[in-house]
A and B are shown apart, each in its own frame.
Chain A
Amino acid sequence: MIGLPAHFSRRSLTRRQILQTSAAIASGMVLSGCGWTLAEVRPALSKGNKDDLSIYTWESYIDPQLTETFHTQTGINITADIYDSNETMLATFQTGKGAIYSVIYPSDYKVAEMIEKKLLSQLDHSRISGLENLLPEFQNSVYDPGNQHSVPISWGTTGLIYNTDALNPGPEDWQDLWQMQQPLNRKMTLLADVREVMGATLKSLGHSYNSTNPTEIKQAYEKLVQLKPAVTTFTTDAWRDRLLAGDLLLSMAYSADAVRLIQENPDAKLRYVIPRSGTSLWSDTMVIPTTSPNPDAAYAWINFMMQPSVAADVTQRLFFATPNQAAYDQLPAPLRNNRSLFPSDEVIKACERIIPLDAKVTELYDQYWTKLTSG
């Protein structure tokens, strides 16, 4: 015989012992002394190889061409791991998987949170060139004034990408999602991100993207519950193929991802729209965690990405908006004038940055989010 049936039927033979054992364990359980601290990130004792650099980043920020160029310039090998939300990144980092990374790409509000948790090392500005090329608002941001711990790499908006053939007229604002629930039924996705989804709903209610008012947050949750039957799934990345294939008509997406999809598929009838009442204005940054095994390579990477030519090249290939003025100036005109990628000041004015919330409110957001995704 092939082995399987024999051992699976054997399983039943031991079930009595197993039951007795579990009873023994349960009765033998004594609460041990309490008061220990759970799982802090510890730096690896062995320093990494100086030619290896591990990066933890979003799907859209790295491609083989980029790592190869870097390798030929510096001789350093890149390994990149991918995450799809800031929360997942921090969770993974804190559970002890983070010790290997020398560069991470948190978004603005997570940078503030990570600074507060003392996870990020102070950047040595003498080792970074080109900081002066950054747009002024990125040199002195709310989340990290003076770029003490982070260097911005990209910025953008959160909006809606939709199929213009099927939706005509298309949505212009968050509120339209509820209005168009019928045609969009089970043909739309929302981001798998608490703050973005809750924030957008808060905005549709006329509140702040960063509301800390429990009544408003509850209101937003209840409004989302109404929309939920129409939502196929919550995902940050997996909508692309299905939007192109026509399985989906609309997805909530980051501008960088949406613009890239549209640029790479000129035939597809897709459009990215920044909701009229405003949305979140995000920027992703490069940081060096205190546990970084290879800070030298991390500085090399940051400097590499800061080169105007590299930044311009990446913007043209991966389509994320660069905060680097020198790189922006090198971009071809059509891209510079792409209003989805570089929205006008007027549009930006209506947007808000996601800001970190205190533990209590974060807990509240989390609770509603778990409730929403569990129901």
Chain B
Amino acid sequence: MPEKPVAKPAFSFPWLAVVSVLLFGFMYLPILVLAFYSFNDSRYSTGWKGFTWKWYVAFLNDSRILTALANSLIVAFFAVGIAAVIGTLMAVGLSRYRFPGKRVYQGVAYLPLIIPDIAIAVATLVFLAAVAIPASGGLIQLSLGTIISAHVVFCLSYIAIVVSTRLTNLNPHLEEAALDLGATPSQALVQVLLPELTPAIISGCLLAFVLSLDDFLIASFTAGGGSSTLPMEIFSRIRTGVKPDINALSVILILSTGFLFALAEYLRYRGEQKRLGN
């Protein structure tokens, strides 16, 4: 709780700014530490032992990490792709139709946002191991495919919730007008509604993509042998003792997510400027 300032002028004390700046430092401290040690020429030392690129070279030659990175990207890409389609359809459908059991459907749809990951992970594993694998006679195996289908579940909820926020702010007459002018419902959907929803779909996808890339628990419960994702590989290395090439990896990851994020923000900003300009 903010401490009471001793003198009067309301909350214009620099302590607020000071605390904030300190907490900014707190947020960036671990990242700076990782970056620092990714250039340090010693495996164990806390002190500075000279500059080196060797951990970056080691990282680029580390086929396990690179495979895991590729797996993670594949999982995120497909999971978000599937979730974008069925999640958007679901959000639109839910905003549009009344049907018996709608509340239950709606509740279930947003459940993944609330149930802890570990519980979802456990439930999915039990389902796969006890039902899906035996029922398919071994056709379904724990693999990248099972990670993807488990990731679709939470990606779906995140995308749907972002899209439905946009839907509630949308002019409802737009589609009606289209229908009145003779468009089929599907035409109205694809050609009128979809362009309006695109920014929301993209930002939902971006969020889901990052969450999927970062997910450790659900992936490690649903992955098969040989299909480790990046967080699983990192976790296994933290457990078995890490080399500083993990630091190099984190710097590269941070820079690329930061870049992607800046790019997305820039595009959004440009889009907005354009719209205002019109």
Contacts and interface: CB of A to CB of B under 8 A. Distances in A.
Whether A and B touch (Cβ < 8 Å) is answered with yes
A6 B129 contact: no
A18 interface: yes
Given A97-B225, A101-B225, A45 B138 contact: yes
A98 B225 contact: yes
Contact of A95 (B67, B129, B164): B129
Interface in B213-254: 223-226, 228, 236, 238-242
B225 A22 contact: no
Contacts of B45: 245
Interface stretch (B75-83, B107-115, B177-185, B189-197): B107-115
Given A10-B165, A17-B106, A38-B130, A237 B138 contact: no
Interface string A87-126: 0000010011111110000000000000000000000000
A7 B44 contact: no
Most central of A11, A84, A95 by chain B CB within 10 Å: A95
Contact of B133 (A10, A42, A84): A42
A374 interface: no
A96 B161 contact: no
A40 interface: yes
Contacts of A19: 107
Contacts of A245: 44-46
A174 interface: no
A7 B165 contact: yes
B237 to A, nearest CB: 9
A11 B207 contact: no
Contact of B206 (A3, A24, A40, A84): A3
A24 B130 contact: no
The residue among A82, A235, A239 with the most chain B CB atoms within 10 A of its own CB is: A82
A100 B226 CA distance: 7
Given A54-B225, A81-B226, A6 B130 contact: no
User: For this complex, into which size category does the number of interface residues on chain A fall?
Assistant: 35 or more
Contacts of A54: 225-226
A225 interface: no
Nearest to B158: A7
A39 B133 contact: yes
Interface in B199-213: 203-204, 206-207
A189 B161 CA distance: 46
Interface size class of B (residues with CB under 8 A): 35 or more
A7 B106 contact: no
A338 B50 CA distance: 35
A79 interface: yes
Nearest to B224: A97
B149 interface: no
Interface in A1-23: 2-4, 6-7, 10-11, 14-15, 17-22
Interface centre among A6, A20, A36 (most CB of B within 10 A): A6
Nearest to A48: B226
Interface in A261-295: none
A241 interface: yes
Contacts of B30: none
B69 interface: no
A39 B43 contact: no
A7 B240 contact: no
B153 to A, nearest CB: 15
B203 A3 contact: yes
A313 to B, nearest CB: 21
A300 interface: no
A373 to B, nearest CB: 15
Contacts of B139: 45
Contacts of A36: 130
Contacts of B242: 241
B240 A237 contact: yes
Contact of B138 (A42, A79, A81, A100): A42
Contacts of B74: none
A39 B130 contact: yes
A116 B162 CA distance: 53
A96 B103 contact: no
Contacts of A22: 107, 111
The residue among B45, B161, B204 with the most chain A CB atoms within 10 A of its own CB is: B161
Contacts of A82: 236, 240
Nearest to B236: A82
A96 B224 contact: yes
B111 A45 contact: no
A207 interface: no
25 contacts: A3-B162, A3-B206, A7-B204, A11-B114, A19-B107, A20-B104, A38-B129, A42-B134, A43-B138, A45-B138, A79-B226, A82-B236, A84-B240, A92-B225, A95-B142, A96-B224, A98-B225, A99-B224, A99-B225, A100-B141, A100-B224, A237-B240, A239-B241, A241-B242, A244-B44
Interface of A: 2-4, 6-7, 10-11, 14-15, 17-22, 24, 36, 38-40, 42-45, 54, 56, 59, 64, 79, 81-82, 84, 92, 95-101, 235-241, 244-245
Q: Which 8 pairs from chain A and chain B are nearest by CB?
A: A21-B107, A39-B129, A42-B138, A237-B240, A100-B225, A3-B203, A17-B107, A245-B44
